[in-house]
Amino acid sequence: MNRLSAKFVAVSFSLALLLLCGVGVISYASFQSLTKESNWVIHTQRVLDNLDHLHMYLRNIETAYSSYIFTSQVTYKKNL
């Protein structure tokens, strides 16, 4: 009876340790995936910010060009 109890404790401890290692591996993989996704979100936000700045810059050029065509003032041409 004592040997059966010792085997049961050893097997239970081994299973608990195996389960803990499995949870650790899954947590590590999940953390790595989260880090990659976070980096892509940051990259996407930077690209969108650059596109917004480009759009504003092009709109300013378009406005200056249109103003120069309509008024022929040199001050608008300097903005081009």
- What is the tens place of the pLDDT at every residue in 25-62? 999 999 999 999 999 999 999 999 999 999 999 998 88
Measured distance CA(1)–CA(53) in Å, rounded: 78
Does 1 have pLDDT greater than 90? Answer: no
Q: How many residues does the chain have?
A: 80
Q: Extract the tokens encoding 22.
A: 């499995």
- What is the tens place of the pLDDT at every residue in 60-79? 888 888 888 888 777 666 65
Domains held by the chain: number:
1
SS3 58: helix
Torsion angles phi and psi, residue 7, rounded to 5: -65, -40
Print the domain residue range for 67.
2-78
pTM over 0.85: no
- Strand ranges inside 1-80, DSSP E: none
